[in-house]
Amino acid sequence: MLESVYTLAFWQALGAIIWVNLLLSGDNAVVIALAARSLPERQQKLAVFWGSAAAIVMRVILTVFAVALLQLPWLKLVGGLLLLWIGVKLIVPEEDEADIESSDNLLQAVKTILIADLVMSLDNVIAVAAAAEQGPPETKILLLVIGLGLSIPIVIFGSVMMLKIMERFPIIITLGAALLGWIAGEIMVTDPAISGWVKANAAWLHAWKVAPIAGAALVVALGKWLAAKHEAGPGQVEPAAETERPKG
Protein backbone atom coordinates (compact mmCIF):
# COMPACT_ATOMS: atom_id res chain seq x y z
CA MET A 1 0.00 0.00 0.00
CA LEU A 2 2.88 2.38 0.79
CA GLU A 3 4.00 2.26 -2.83
CA SER A 4 0.52 3.25 -3.99
CA VAL A 5 0.55 6.31 -1.72
CA TYR A 6 3.38 7.78 -3.79
CA THR A 7 1.51 7.45 -7.07
CA LEU A 8 -0.06 10.34 -8.96
CA ALA A 9 -3.44 8.56 -8.97
CA PHE A 10 -3.52 8.54 -5.16
CA TRP A 11 -2.89 12.27 -4.85
CA GLN A 12 -5.32 13.12 -7.64
CA ALA A 13 -8.05 11.12 -5.89
CA LEU A 14 -7.21 12.73 -2.53
CA GLY A 15 -7.43 16.20 -4.05
CA ALA A 16 -10.76 15.33 -5.68
CA ILE A 17 -12.19 14.06 -2.36
CA ILE A 18 -11.20 17.25 -0.51
CA TRP A 19 -12.43 19.55 -3.29
CA VAL A 20 -15.75 17.75 -3.75
CA ASN A 21 -16.39 17.66 0.00
CA LEU A 22 -15.69 21.38 0.31
CA LEU A 23 -18.07 22.23 -2.52
CA LEU A 24 -20.89 20.07 -1.25
CA SER A 25 -20.60 20.78 2.49
CA GLY A 26 -21.45 24.48 2.50
CA ASP A 27 -25.12 23.76 3.17
CA ASN A 28 -24.19 21.39 6.01
CA ALA A 29 -22.17 24.16 7.63
CA VAL A 30 -25.15 26.50 7.38
CA VAL A 31 -27.31 23.85 9.08
CA ILE A 32 -24.83 23.63 11.93
CA ALA A 33 -24.94 27.40 12.39
CA LEU A 34 -28.76 27.54 12.24
CA ALA A 35 -29.22 24.69 14.70
CA ALA A 36 -26.89 26.25 17.28
CA ARG A 37 -27.79 29.91 16.88
CA SER A 38 -30.11 30.13 19.94
CA LEU A 39 -27.61 28.61 22.36
CA PRO A 40 -25.35 30.64 24.67
CA GLU A 41 -21.96 31.35 23.09
CA ARG A 42 -20.11 28.68 25.11
CA GLN A 43 -22.72 26.04 24.28
CA GLN A 44 -22.70 27.09 20.61
CA LYS A 45 -19.07 25.97 20.38
CA LEU A 46 -19.90 22.68 22.12
CA ALA A 47 -22.86 22.08 19.79
CA VAL A 48 -20.75 22.76 16.72
CA PHE A 49 -17.97 20.49 18.02
CA TRP A 50 -20.10 17.51 19.08
CA GLY A 51 -22.59 17.85 16.24
CA SER A 52 -19.79 18.02 13.69
CA ALA A 53 -17.86 15.15 15.31
CA ALA A 54 -20.92 12.89 15.25
CA ALA A 55 -21.64 13.90 11.65
CA ILE A 56 -18.04 13.14 10.63
CA VAL A 57 -18.14 9.63 12.12
CA MET A 58 -21.53 8.96 10.51
CA ARG A 59 -20.34 10.23 7.13
CA VAL A 60 -17.17 8.11 7.17
CA ILE A 61 -19.23 4.98 7.93
CA LEU A 62 -21.77 5.78 5.20
CA THR A 63 -19.01 6.47 2.67
CA VAL A 64 -17.19 3.20 3.45
CA PHE A 65 -20.47 1.36 2.78
CA ALA A 66 -20.95 3.36 -0.42
CA VAL A 67 -17.48 2.39 -1.69
CA ALA A 68 -18.27 -1.29 -1.02
CA LEU A 69 -21.64 -1.02 -2.77
CA LEU A 70 -20.05 0.58 -5.84
CA GLN A 71 -18.30 -2.72 -6.51
CA LEU A 72 -21.65 -4.38 -7.31
CA PRO A 73 -22.91 -4.49 -10.92
CA TRP A 74 -25.08 -1.57 -12.09
CA LEU A 75 -24.50 0.53 -8.96
CA LYS A 76 -21.70 2.56 -10.53
CA LEU A 77 -24.07 3.39 -13.37
CA VAL A 78 -26.75 4.46 -10.90
CA GLY A 79 -24.19 6.35 -8.80
CA GLY A 80 -22.82 8.03 -11.93
CA LEU A 81 -26.29 9.23 -12.93
CA LEU A 82 -26.88 10.57 -9.41
CA LEU A 83 -23.50 12.27 -9.54
CA LEU A 84 -24.40 13.94 -12.85
CA TRP A 85 -27.58 15.30 -11.28
CA ILE A 86 -25.71 16.48 -8.18
CA GLY A 87 -23.34 18.40 -10.46
CA VAL A 88 -26.25 19.97 -12.32
CA LYS A 89 -27.91 20.98 -9.04
CA LEU A 90 -24.67 22.65 -7.99
CA ILE A 91 -25.00 25.08 -10.92
CA VAL A 92 -28.78 25.68 -10.75
CA PRO A 93 -29.67 28.30 -8.10
CA GLU A 94 -31.85 26.99 -5.30
CA GLU A 95 -34.70 28.72 -3.52
CA ASP A 96 -33.79 30.02 -0.09
CA GLU A 97 -35.26 27.73 2.53
CA ALA A 98 -34.67 27.91 6.26
CA ASP A 99 -36.60 25.01 7.74
CA ILE A 100 -33.97 24.15 10.33
CA GLU A 101 -35.20 24.83 13.84
CA SER A 102 -32.85 26.41 16.32
CA SER A 103 -32.76 25.02 19.83
CA ASP A 104 -31.91 26.39 23.26
CA ASN A 105 -30.93 22.90 24.42
CA LEU A 106 -27.42 21.61 23.72
CA LEU A 107 -28.42 17.95 23.27
CA GLN A 108 -31.35 18.88 21.05
CA ALA A 109 -29.10 21.11 18.92
CA VAL A 110 -26.59 18.27 18.46
CA LYS A 111 -29.46 15.93 17.54
CA THR A 112 -30.78 18.46 15.01
CA ILE A 113 -27.32 18.84 13.45
CA LEU A 114 -26.88 15.05 13.19
CA ILE A 115 -30.30 14.38 11.65
CA ALA A 116 -30.03 17.28 9.20
CA ASP A 117 -26.53 16.23 8.19
CA LEU A 118 -27.72 12.65 7.64
CA VAL A 119 -30.52 13.84 5.35
CA MET A 120 -28.27 16.25 3.44
CA SER A 121 -25.17 14.05 3.15
CA LEU A 122 -26.32 11.69 0.39
CA ASP A 123 -24.70 13.82 -2.28
CA ASN A 124 -21.46 14.09 -0.29
CA VAL A 125 -21.32 10.34 0.32
CA ILE A 126 -21.89 9.40 -3.33
CA ALA A 127 -19.45 12.02 -4.63
CA VAL A 128 -16.66 11.20 -2.17
CA ALA A 129 -17.07 7.45 -2.71
CA ALA A 130 -16.88 8.00 -6.47
CA ALA A 131 -13.78 10.20 -6.09
CA ALA A 132 -12.10 7.44 -4.05
CA GLU A 133 -12.70 5.10 -7.00
CA GLN A 134 -10.16 7.14 -9.00
CA GLY A 135 -7.28 6.12 -6.74
CA PRO A 136 -5.42 2.80 -6.41
CA PRO A 137 -7.87 0.06 -5.30
CA GLU A 138 -5.91 -0.89 -2.20
CA THR A 139 -5.92 2.70 -0.88
CA LYS A 140 -9.67 3.46 -1.03
CA ILE A 141 -10.30 3.32 2.72
CA LEU A 142 -7.09 5.27 3.40
CA LEU A 143 -8.17 7.90 0.87
CA LEU A 144 -11.55 8.25 2.58
CA VAL A 145 -10.09 8.60 6.06
CA ILE A 146 -7.43 11.13 5.02
CA GLY A 147 -9.66 13.04 2.60
CA LEU A 148 -12.60 13.40 4.96
CA GLY A 149 -10.30 13.99 7.92
CA LEU A 150 -8.59 16.90 6.16
CA SER A 151 -11.69 18.41 4.60
CA ILE A 152 -14.05 18.40 7.59
CA PRO A 153 -12.05 20.88 9.74
CA ILE A 154 -11.72 23.13 6.69
CA VAL A 155 -15.48 22.89 6.15
CA ILE A 156 -16.29 23.68 9.79
CA PHE A 157 -13.93 26.63 10.17
CA GLY A 158 -13.74 27.88 6.60
CA SER A 159 -17.19 27.26 5.15
CA VAL A 160 -18.31 30.87 5.49
CA MET A 161 -15.17 32.06 3.72
CA MET A 162 -15.63 29.37 1.06
CA LEU A 163 -19.23 30.48 0.46
CA LYS A 164 -18.13 34.09 0.07
CA ILE A 165 -15.38 33.09 -2.38
CA MET A 166 -17.85 31.04 -4.42
CA GLU A 167 -20.27 33.98 -4.48
CA ARG A 168 -17.50 36.27 -5.73
CA PHE A 169 -16.06 33.78 -8.21
CA PRO A 170 -18.95 31.63 -9.54
CA ILE A 171 -16.51 29.89 -11.91
CA ILE A 172 -15.41 27.82 -8.89
CA ILE A 173 -18.90 26.29 -8.67
CA THR A 174 -18.91 25.55 -12.41
CA LEU A 175 -15.49 23.90 -12.20
CA GLY A 176 -16.63 21.84 -9.21
CA ALA A 177 -19.75 20.72 -11.08
CA ALA A 178 -17.58 19.78 -14.07
CA LEU A 179 -15.36 17.72 -11.75
CA LEU A 180 -18.42 15.78 -10.57
CA GLY A 181 -19.43 15.16 -14.19
CA TRP A 182 -15.88 14.00 -14.98
CA ILE A 183 -15.91 11.53 -12.07
CA ALA A 184 -19.41 10.32 -13.08
CA GLY A 185 -18.29 9.55 -16.63
CA GLU A 186 -15.17 7.81 -15.33
CA ILE A 187 -16.95 5.47 -12.90
CA MET A 188 -19.87 4.64 -15.22
CA VAL A 189 -17.64 3.03 -17.87
CA THR A 190 -15.91 0.96 -15.16
CA ASP A 191 -19.16 -0.56 -13.82
CA PRO A 192 -18.73 -4.36 -13.60
CA ALA A 193 -21.93 -4.82 -15.62
CA ILE A 194 -20.50 -3.13 -18.73
CA SER A 195 -16.72 -2.90 -18.16
CA GLY A 196 -16.10 -6.09 -20.19
CA TRP A 197 -18.07 -4.75 -23.15
CA VAL A 198 -16.32 -1.37 -22.90
CA LYS A 199 -12.86 -2.98 -22.93
CA ALA A 200 -13.77 -5.14 -25.93
CA ASN A 201 -15.69 -2.61 -28.04
CA ALA A 202 -15.19 0.93 -26.76
CA ALA A 203 -11.92 1.10 -24.82
CA TRP A 204 -11.47 4.65 -26.14
CA LEU A 205 -14.24 5.81 -23.78
CA HIS A 206 -11.86 5.22 -20.88
CA ALA A 207 -8.41 5.37 -22.50
CA TRP A 208 -9.00 8.69 -24.28
CA LYS A 209 -11.08 10.14 -21.41
CA VAL A 210 -14.08 10.56 -23.73
CA ALA A 211 -16.57 9.44 -21.05
CA PRO A 212 -15.35 11.82 -18.30
CA ILE A 213 -15.08 14.73 -20.75
CA ALA A 214 -18.63 14.03 -21.95
CA GLY A 215 -19.85 13.84 -18.36
CA ALA A 216 -18.25 17.18 -17.46
CA ALA A 217 -19.62 18.85 -20.61
CA LEU A 218 -23.11 17.45 -20.01
CA VAL A 219 -23.24 18.70 -16.43
CA VAL A 220 -22.08 22.21 -17.32
CA ALA A 221 -24.30 22.52 -20.40
CA LEU A 222 -27.43 21.17 -18.70
CA GLY A 223 -26.75 23.13 -15.51
CA LYS A 224 -26.29 26.41 -17.38
CA TRP A 225 -29.42 25.80 -19.45
CA LEU A 226 -31.55 25.04 -16.38
CA ALA A 227 -30.05 28.01 -14.52
CA ALA A 228 -30.94 30.34 -17.41
CA LYS A 229 -34.44 28.86 -17.53
CA HIS A 230 -34.78 29.28 -13.76
CA GLU A 231 -33.79 32.96 -13.91
CA ALA A 232 -36.04 33.69 -16.89
CA GLY A 233 -39.09 31.97 -15.37
CA PRO A 234 -40.45 33.06 -11.99
CA GLY A 235 -38.28 36.16 -11.98
CA GLN A 236 -40.07 37.81 -14.89
CA VAL A 237 -42.56 40.48 -14.02
CA GLU A 238 -45.79 40.43 -15.95
CA PRO A 239 -46.71 43.71 -17.64
CA ALA A 240 -49.58 45.64 -16.10
CA ALA A 241 -52.93 44.34 -17.29
CA GLU A 242 -54.58 47.70 -17.32
CA THR A 243 -53.25 51.07 -18.47
CA GLU A 244 -54.74 54.39 -17.73
CA ARG A 245 -57.35 55.26 -20.37
CA PRO A 246 -57.33 58.71 -21.90
CA LYS A 247 -60.17 60.87 -20.70
CA GLY A 248 -62.98 61.64 -23.04
Q: Which range, 29-33, 54-58, 99-103, 242-246, has the best average confidence (pLDDT)?
A: 54-58
141 domain residue, yes or no? yes
What domain range is 172 assigned to?
2-232
Q: Is residue 79 domain-resident? A: yes
Query: pLDDT, tens digit, for every residue of 216-248?
Result: 999 999 999 999 988 887 555 444 444 444 444
CB atoms within 10 A of CB 217: 14
> What is the identity of the amino acid at 140?
K
* pLDDT tens digits, one per residue of 178-198: 998 999 998 999 899 999 999
> What is the spatial distance between Cα 170 and Cα 230, in angstroms, rounded to a whole number?
17
Residue whose C-alpha is closest to residue 24's, from 155, 168, 134, 139: 155
220 within some domain: yes
Residue 239 falls within a domain, yes or no? no
Domain count of the chain? 1
Q: Is residue 245 domain-resident?
A: no
pLDDT at residue 19 in the model: 85
DSSP line for 95-143: PP---PPP-SSHHHHHHHHHHHHHHHTHHHHHHHHHHHTTS-GGGHHHH
Whole-model pTM: value is 0.73
User: Is position 242 within any domain?
Assistant: no
Residue 181 in 3-state DSSP? helix
Residues 122-175 pLDDT 10s: 677 888 889 888 888 888 888 888 887 776 676 666 555 665 677 788 888 898
Distances (CA, A) of 241 to 18, 209, 232: 52, 54, 20
**Residue 247 belongs to some domain of the structure:** no
Q: Is residue 244 part of a domain?
A: no
